[in-house]
């Protein structure tokens, strides 16, 4: 080992330590690594070093090479995919799809796991898997609340299926995009991986994960007493619904009609004429004119306004009906003289500020109907306000606007956003255009068609991932220029010269899995793809299968919450302990190491 190689390994070891300890944010560590690898050759270009045969400038990237991560097609493609994913999310397409699937799964954990595999797993092959998981988390938390299941048994499958689904296509995960960019610039390979080149292997991996969670994995998922789900800091609003005379609910119970599951609301009580039903409210037959008192969040209430089977009452039965084309506005009542215990039906928010009273944020209603609920200064209510009245509302001293909910999901926008992403994928498959070009064209189309605003272009991007990508790319350049990758390849080849190719693939898979837990999936790919290329040259095995072992291992490392972004996201909900990931993930990693290696050998090596 030369001094240049040793110095590169010292830099990598320092980066690994900072990544693992997280003494600095991951993106800052990546920047520090970038600055280090471009500074060493500038400071080390000394005559006395050259006289001793030490050429640091030749072993480390130049400033231009060090900054190439920012202009890398991998970085730009991931950036564009984040924006496209934000367009899909903002359009409401994934929300609508999830809502349509909810009635199919009911309270069955088995069916929910199948739904997660279909929704998150397959979507992660089309859009960035991190974005797919980010959208799925609130949907699955809501499903856990509706069905009474424990969220701890659902969110780990969400993250793991996001990773498994990301292996389906080139654009499913930043790991694949980055590896493809490195391979394209590697003389031993020298071409661009196609979008679906390894999709058949991804399907095998996804199916393996599904079988695991339908069998062994289910028993390893943490089971704890129900706890307060994150994101429920607002208790929700009590609203009143009147069952229409011609409603399909008439003659059926709310349970039989799956009303709560379809709408996502919590039933508080049913009022029929002068009688109140609480315990039997969900199971008794519904009659036309029944009043349902339910609790829900803004999104669910916005859906109820458009629901044809019930009528959401404005001002709790007065003549003003909900328009459905205004803004839902969360108001804090401030006027102590006006709101001093006056009943809700008598507060006349319409006369005060042209706001229709829809719901009240309270735990326990104090009267039979919400019209008799007393309101006080400090209470929070949900109202509907027209666009023309919004500006005036902010000037009223009696109330304070806390939040506006824009119900801007519409079918036309969903179709546009979905069509744009489909066109991006089709363009990369059916034309000579690379994915980075079609993705950037898709970003432009998202803005032109108003699926995204200019602000969404920036807020929809996980900039930490982008900076991490740009910062770790110089590590791979240093590994190649210094000869470190070739040296590791020779060392590995010397040990593996008599090994069967399957054992070589499994060893690469295991090393990549462990390294990904120490650093990140992107950093491990940058470090080990050059090693895989060197091993290929030493053992005479084709480059692609060895690099696929690295790519798939880096994309499916389940052992800790810090090895992959999706694990970090669900760990951040506060529902899991650190060890939960290893308990569920270690057997799956061992299984995938065997299955993936055998599949690669059968498809590309044998």
Helix, strand, coil percentages, rounded to 5, for the chain: 60, 10, 30
If asked whether residues 98 and 118 sit together in one domain, one would say yes
Strand partners, 360: 238, 381
Q: pLDDT-derived band of residue 438, with 50, 70 and 90 as boundaries?
A: confident
Of 107, 81, 87, nearest in space to 409 by CA: 87
Question: What integer is the mean pLDDT of 233-262?
Answer: 84
Q: At what angle do helices 521-539 and 543-555 cross, to 10 degrees?
A: 160
If asked whether residues 343 and 429 sit together in one domain, one would say no
Task: Please give the mean pLDDT across all residues of the chain.
Answer: 82
If asked whether residues 244 and 393 sit together in one domain, one would say yes
What pLDDT shows up at residue 573? Answer: 66
Where b means 16+ CB within 10 Å and e means fewer, 50-88 reads eeeebbbbebbbbeebbbbbeebbbbbbbbbbbbbbbbb
What pLDDT shows up at residue 588? Answer: 96
If asked whether residues 322 and 433 sit together in one domain, one would say no
If asked whether residues 242 and 381 sit together in one domain, one would say yes
Q: CA angle, 76 as apex, 75 and 80 as ends, to 5°?
A: 120
Q: 10 Å Cβ neighbour count for 586?
A: 14
Q: pLDDT-derived band of residue 229, with 50, 70 and 90 as boundaries?
A: very low
* Count of residues making up the chain: 606
Q: Between these two residues, 164 and 123, which has the higher pLDDT value?
A: 164
Q: Between these two residues, 548 and 557, which has the higher pLDDT value?
A: 548
Question: Looking at the 3D structure of the chain, how many domains does it have?
Answer: 2
Q: At what angle do helices 73-91 and 463-481 cross, to 10 degrees?
A: 160
Residues 566/569/574/578 CA torsion (nearest 10 deg)? 40
CA dist list (Å): 29 to 47, 403, 467:
31, 37, 10
Q: Does 490 reside within a domain?
A: no
If asked whether residues 279 and 396 sit together in one domain, one would say yes
What pLDDT shows up at residue 296? Answer: 86
Question: What integer is the mean pLDDT of 250-266?
Answer: 84
Q: Kindly state the tokens that stand for 43.
A: 């400071």
Question: What integer is the mean pLDDT of 526-537?
Answer: 86
Distance separating alpha carbons of residues 61 and 152, to the nearest angstrom: 45
If asked whether residues 289 and 250 sit together in one domain, one would say yes
CB neighbours of 66 closer than 8 A, spacing ≥ 6? Answer: 34, 37, 38, 474, 477
Q: Does 317 reside within a domain?
A: yes
Label residue 129 left, alpha or beta by phi (over 0 means left) and psi (-120 to 50 means alpha).
alpha
- Residues 151-167: tens digit of each pLDDT: 889 999 999 999 999 99
Q: Assess whether pLDDT exceeds 80 at residue 448.
A: yes
Give the position of tokens 């068609």: 449
Q: 10 Å Cβ neighbour count for 32?
A: 15
Q: Does 59 reside within a domain?
A: no
What pLDDT shows up at residue 297? Answer: 83
Burial class (CB in 10 A: 0-12, 13-18, 19+), 343: middle
Q: Between these two residues, 256 and 104, which has the higher pLDDT value?
A: 256
What pLDDT shows up at residue 441? Answer: 92
Q: Between these two residues, 395 and 164, which has the higher pLDDT value?
A: 164
Three-state SS string over 281-297 comes to CCCCCECCCCEEEEEEC
Q: What is the DSSP letter of 335?
A: -
Q: Kindly state the tokens that stand for 391.
A: 């500006």
Gyration radius of the chain's alpha carbons: 28
Q: Assess whether pLDDT exceeds 90 at residue 586.
A: yes
Q: Phi/psi of residue 583, each to 5°?
A: -65, -40
Highest mean pLDDT among 178-182, 327-331, 550-554: 550-554
What pLDDT shows up at residue 48? Answer: 64
Question: What integer is the mean pLDDT of 556-575?
Answer: 76
What pLDDT shows up at residue 319? Answer: 46
Last residue of a domain, one of 405, 421, 447: 405
Distance separating alpha carbons of residues 149 and 141, to the nearest angstrom: 9
What pLDDT shows up at residue 300? Answer: 82
Q: Does 304 reside within a domain?
A: yes
Domain that holds residue 390: 238-405
Q: Does 130 reside within a domain?
A: yes
Lowest-confidence segment of 134-138, 405-409, 550-554, 577-581 by average pLDDT: 405-409
Give the pTM.
0.65
Question: What integer is the mean pLDDT of 364-390?
Answer: 83
Decide if 375 contacts 357 (C-beta within 8 A): no
Q: Does 544 reside within a domain?
A: no
If asked whether residues 330 and 443 sit together in one domain, one would say no
Distance separating alpha carbons of residues 332 and 408, to the nearest angstrom: 24
Helix (H, G, I), strand (E, B) or coil at 19: helix
What pLDDT shows up at residue 232? Answer: 44
| Residue 270, domain CATH | 3.30.70.1450
If asked whether residues 401 and 427 sit together in one domain, one would say no
Distance separating alpha carbons of residues 170 and 69, to the nearest angstrom: 19
Q: Kindly state the tokens that stand for 373.
A: 């609920």
Q: Assess whether pLDDT exceeds 90 at residue 19.
A: no
Label residue 574 left, alpha or beta by phi (over 0 means left) and psi (-120 to 50 means alpha).
left
Q: Between these two residues, 421 and 56, which has the higher pLDDT value?
A: 421
Last residue of a domain, one of 405, 424, 453: 405
Of 606, 488, 590, 464, nearest in space to 545 by CA: 606
Decide if 596 contacts 253 (C-beta within 8 A): no
Highest mean pLDDT among 225-239, 314-328, 403-417, 584-598: 584-598
Q: pLDDT-derived band of residue 410, with 50, 70 and 90 as boundaries?
A: low
Lowest-confidence segment of 40-54, 187-201, 400-414, 585-599 by average pLDDT: 40-54
Last residue of a domain, one of 423, 439, 463: 463
Of 89, 85, 92, nearest in space to 129 by CA: 85
Q: Between these two residues, 523 and 337, which has the higher pLDDT value?
A: 337
If asked whether residues 273 and 301 sit together in one domain, one would say yes
Q: Does 3 reside within a domain?
A: no
If asked whether residues 253 and 395 sit together in one domain, one would say yes
Q: Assess whether pLDDT exceeds 80 at residue 3.
A: no
Burial class (CB in 10 A: 0-12, 13-18, 19+), 293: buried
Q: Does 468 reside within a domain?
A: no
If asked whether residues 205 and 268 sit together in one domain, one would say no
What pLDDT shows up at residue 227? Answer: 42
Strand partners, 240: 293
- Residues 176-216: tens digit of each pLDDT: 988 998 898 888 888 888 889 999 999 999 999 999 999 99
Lowest-confidence segment of 49-63, 371-385, 465-479 by average pLDDT: 49-63
Decide if 181 contacts 68 (C-beta within 8 A): no
Distance separating alpha carbons of residues 285 and 273, to the nearest angstrom: 14
What pLDDT shows up at residue 158? Answer: 92
Question: What integer is the mean pLDDT of 29-57?
Answer: 76
Q: Assess whether pLDDT exceeds 70 at residue 73.
A: yes
Percent of the chain at pLDDT > 90 equals 18
Containing 112, the helix (H) or strand (E) segment is helix 109-116
Q: At what angle do helices 26-43 and 3-21 cross, to 10 degrees?
A: 160
Number of H helices, E strands in the chain: 29, 11
């Amino acid at each position: 080992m030369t001094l240049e190689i040793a110095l590169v390994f010292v830099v990598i070891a320092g980066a690994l330590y900072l990544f693992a300890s997280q003494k600095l944010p991951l993106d800052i560590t990546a920047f520090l690594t970038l600055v280090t690898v471009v500074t060493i050759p500038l400071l080390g270009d000394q005559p006395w070093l050259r006289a001793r045969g030490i050429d640091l400038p030749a072993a480390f990237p130049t400033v231009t090479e060090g900054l190439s991560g920012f202009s890398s097609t991998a970085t730009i493609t991931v950036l564009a995919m984040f924006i496209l994913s934000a367009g899909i999310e903002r359009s409401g397409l994934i929300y609508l799809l999830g809502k349509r699937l909810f009635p199919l799964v009911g309270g069955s954990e088995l069916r929910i796991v199948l739904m997660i595999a279909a929704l998150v797993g397959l979507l992660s092959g089309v859009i960035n898997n991190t974005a797919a998981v980010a959208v799925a988390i609130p949907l699955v938390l809501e499903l856990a609340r509706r069905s009474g299941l424990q969220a701890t048994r659902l969110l780990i499958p969400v993250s793991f299926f996001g990773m498994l689904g990301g292996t389906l296509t080139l654009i499913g995960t930043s790991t694949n995009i980055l590896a493809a960019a490195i391979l394209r610039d590697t003389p031993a390979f020298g071409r661009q991986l196609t979008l679906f080149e390894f999709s058949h292997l991804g399907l095998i991996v996804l199916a393996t994960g599904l079988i695991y969670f339908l069998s062994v994995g289910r028993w390893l998922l943490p089971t704890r007493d129900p706890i307060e789900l994150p994101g429920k800091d607002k208790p929700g609003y009590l609203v009143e619904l009147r069952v229409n005379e011609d409603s399909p609910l008439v003659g059926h119970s709310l349970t039989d009609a799956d009303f709560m599951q379809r709408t996502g609301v919590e039933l508080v009580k049913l009022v029929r004429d002068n009688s109140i039903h609480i315990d039997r409210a969900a199971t008794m037959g519904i009659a036309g004119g029944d009043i349902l008192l339910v609790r829900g969040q803004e999104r669910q209430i916005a859906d109820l306004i458009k629901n044809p089977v019930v009528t959401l009452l404005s001002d709790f039965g007065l003549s003003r009906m909900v328009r459905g084309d205004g803004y839902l506005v969360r108001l804090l009542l401030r006027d102590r003289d006006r709101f001093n215990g006056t009943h809700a039906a008598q507060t006349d928010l319409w006369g005060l500020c042209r706001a229709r009273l829809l719901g009240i944020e309270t735990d326990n209603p104090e009267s039979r109907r919400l019209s008799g609920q007393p309101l006080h200064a400090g209470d929070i209510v949900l109202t509907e306000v027209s666009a023309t009245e919004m500006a005036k509302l902010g000037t009223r001293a009696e109330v304070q606007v806390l939040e506006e909910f824009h119900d801007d999901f519409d079918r036309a926008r969903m179709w546009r956003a979905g069509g744009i992403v489909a066109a991006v994928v089709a363009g990369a498959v059916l034309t000579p255009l690379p994915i980075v070009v079609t993705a950037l064209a898709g970003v432009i189309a998202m803005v032109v068609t108003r699926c995204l605003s200019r602000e969404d272009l920036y807020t929809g991007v996980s900039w930490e991932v982008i900076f991490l990508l740009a910062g770790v790319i110089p590590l791979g350049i240093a590994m190649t220029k210094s000869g470190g990758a070739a040296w590791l390849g020779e060392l590995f080849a010397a040990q593996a010269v008599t090994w069967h190719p399957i054992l070589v693939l499994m060893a690469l898979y295991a090393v990549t899995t462990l390294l990904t837990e120490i650093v990140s999936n992107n950093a491990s790919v940058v470090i080990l793809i050059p090693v895989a290329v060197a091993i290929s040259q030493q053992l005479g095995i084709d480059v692609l299968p060895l690099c696929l072992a690295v790519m798939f291992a880096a994309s499916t490392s389940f052992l800790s919450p810090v090895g992959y972004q999706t694990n970090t996201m669900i760990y951040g909900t506060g529902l899991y302990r650190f060890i939960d990931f290893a308990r569920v993930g270690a057997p799956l990693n061992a299984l995938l190491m065997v299955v993936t290696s055998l599949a690669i050998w059968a498809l590309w090596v044998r």
